């Protein structure tokens, strides 16, 4: 009964979106990964751009890692892009370019969890698996007045069981898309449009007046603050980028040479002096800086400072590491960078700064405390 009312509502006027006009598992997969942690209005331009660059799984598998990351730039959670790229190669090499229909086979692929596997299996292949994303969790928690935190292990188990019970096994693709649409358009987090909801009469939260109290969520606390001072080292034409090859959320992305601090203290002259001497820089001009740019990550907060360091030496004469790359300022935007670094590039106005007059040499010992 609930599913029939839900599907009728959905069919009467759902949003026209490109991934809803296809049963292609590749495009459905791309859309679901992009829309994790991302609203549709933000994700749609990324989806269109990504599909234009990589129209099928073969094109994605053949692409360079840096090109995939650049297409993903701005979406955050870059492990999603890395997993997309890795899984595309698995699909091509192991499955000859054909996505598995089996839910459990999909779960074996990198970056595909229960939600994404259920979405691809149900929407592309009409398999009876119920999706459970943030929108669906909110609908179900209100529909049944579930007070267990939706982001707890127990809460997820209860919600998944309810989602399975509600699923229309003969029309899982329509049912799942209708549930997600209801959560996005009607059962909103802060201002639910209960008067327009097709499930209003059976909603326990609405009938008891507690819809704004649900869903219940456990709070995730930022457990660590890290201060980073980025050095935008330039000779007026080129600049040094640093590629992160170690693990972490910025793996394979580019940023600038940096000094990381585990306390809230600012960079000292002595620390900067040691860092710049590693490059062979003894004279410079500090022509731009900013402090305390906040960037929230999972369980961490970054406080970022930066300084533009103009040196009279050609960068090719400096001592750089194997992870560092000297690039022209004009090409800077071609490289995939985290949003924080993108913001620093904008604030520092690199293009304008590097075209100023040739800097007057300044001793490193004259640099003020930052």
Q: Answer whether residue 366 shows pLDDT above 90.
A: no
Q: Answer whether residue 350 shows pLDDT above 90.
A: no
pLDDT cut 70: percent of the chain above it: 92
pLDDT in tens, 45-100: 999 999 999 999 999 999 999 999 999 999 988 999 999 999 999 999 999 999 99
Q: How far apart are CA 127 and CA 110, in angstroms?
A: 21
Q: How far apart are CA 194 and CA 211, in angstroms?
A: 9
Q: Answer whether residue 318 shows pLDDT above 50.
A: yes
SS3 309: strand
Task: Please tell me the predicted confidence (pLDDT) of residue 363.
Answer: 42
Task: Please tell me the predicted confidence (pLDDT) of residue 127.
Answer: 98
CATH code for the part of the protein at 2-213:
1.10.340.30
With contact defined as beta carbons under 8 Å apart, do 6 and 182 qualify?
A: yes
Rounded mean pLDDT, 342-370:
59
Q: How far apart are CA 291 and CA 303, in angstroms?
A: 8
SS3 290: strand
Which has more confidence, 284 or 370? 284
pLDDT in tens, 106-131: 999 999 999 999 999 999 999 999 99
Q: How far apart are CA 89 and CA 93, in angstroms?
A: 6
Q: How far apart are CA 178 and CA 190, in angstroms?
A: 20
pTM: 0.86
User: If residue 69 lies in a helix (H) or strand (E), which one and from where to where?
Assistant: helix 65-72
- What would the DSSP string read from start to end of 109-155? STT--HHHHHHHHHHHH--S-----HHHHHHHHHHTT--S-TTSHHH
Let me know if 346 is a catalytic residue: no
pLDDT in tens, 12-51: 989 999 999 999 999 999 999 999 989 999 999 999 999 9
Could you tell me the pLDDT band of residue 360, with boundaries at 50, 70 and 90? very low
pLDDT in tens, 195-251: 999 999 999 999 999 999 999 999 876 568 888 999 999 998 999 999 988 767 788
Q: Is 209 left (phi over 0), alpha (psi -120 to 50) or beta?
A: left
Could you tell me the pLDDT band of residue 351, with boundaries at 50, 70 and 90? low
Task: Please tell me the predicted confidence (pLDDT) of residue 286.
Answer: 80
pLDDT in tens, 307-316: 999 998 999 9
Q: Answer whether residue 365 shows pLDDT above 60.
A: no
Q: Answer whether residue 359 shows pLDDT above 50.
A: no
The full set of domain ranges for the chain reads 2-213, 224-366
- Name the active-site residue from 32, 211, 285, 324: 32
CATH superfamily, domain at 224-366: Nucleoside Triphosphate Pyrophosphohydrolase (3.90.79.10)
User: If residue 286 lies in a helix (H) or strand (E), which one and from where to where?
Assistant: strand 283-297
Q: Answer whether residue 285 shows pLDDT above 60.
A: yes
Contacts with 185 (C-beta within 8 Å, 6 or more apart), sequence order: 15, 193
pLDDT in tens, 171-191: 999 999 999 999 999 999 999
Instruction: Report the Cα 271 to chain-centroid distance in Å.
Output: 32
């Amino acid at each position: 009964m609930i599913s029939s009312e839900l599907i009728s509502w959905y069919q009467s006027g759902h949003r026209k979106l490109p991934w809803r006009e296809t049963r292609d598992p590749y495009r459905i997969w791309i859309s679901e990964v992009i829309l994790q942690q991302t609203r549709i209005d933000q994700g749609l331009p990324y989806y269109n751009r990504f599909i234009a660059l990589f129209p099928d799984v073969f094109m994605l598998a053949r692409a360079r890692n840096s090109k995939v990351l650049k297409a993903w730039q701005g979406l955050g959670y870059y492990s999603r892009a890395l997993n997309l790229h890795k899984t595309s190669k698995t699909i091509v090499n192991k499955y000859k370019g054909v996505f598995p229909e089996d839910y459990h086979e999909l779960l074996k692929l990198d970056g595909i969890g229960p939600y994404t596997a259920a979405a691809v299996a149900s929407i592309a292949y009409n398999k009876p698996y119920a999706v459970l994303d943030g929108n669906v969790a909110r609908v179900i928690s209100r529909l049944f007045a579930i007070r267990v935190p939706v982001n707890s292990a127990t809460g997820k188990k209860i919600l998944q069981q309810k989602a399975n019970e509600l699923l229309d096994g003969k029309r899982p693709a329509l049912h799942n898309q209708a549930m997600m649409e209801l959560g996005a358009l009607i059962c909103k987090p802060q201002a639910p449009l209960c008067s327009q909801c097709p499930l209003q009469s059976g909603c326990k939260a609405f009938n008891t007046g507690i819809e704004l109290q649900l869903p219940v969520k456990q709070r995730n606390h930022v457990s660590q603050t890290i201060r980073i001072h980025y050095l935008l080292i330039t000779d007026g034409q080129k600049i040094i980028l640093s590629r992160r090859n170690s693990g972490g959320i910025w793996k394979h992305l580019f940023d600038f040479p940096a000094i990381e601090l585990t306390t809230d203290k600012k960079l000292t002259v002595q620390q900067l002096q040691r860092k710049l001497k590693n490059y062979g820089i003894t004279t410079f001009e500090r022509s731009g800086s900013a402090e305390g740019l906040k960037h929230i990550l999972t369980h961490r907060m970054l406080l970022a400072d930066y300084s533009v360091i103009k040196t009279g030496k050609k960068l090719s004469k400096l001592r750089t590491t194997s992870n560092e790359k000297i690039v022209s300022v004009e090409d800077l935007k071609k490289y995939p960078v985290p949003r924080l670094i993108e913001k620093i590039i904008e604030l520092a106005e690199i293009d304008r700064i590097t075209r100023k007059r040739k800097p007057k040499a300044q001793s490193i010992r004259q640099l003020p405390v930052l």
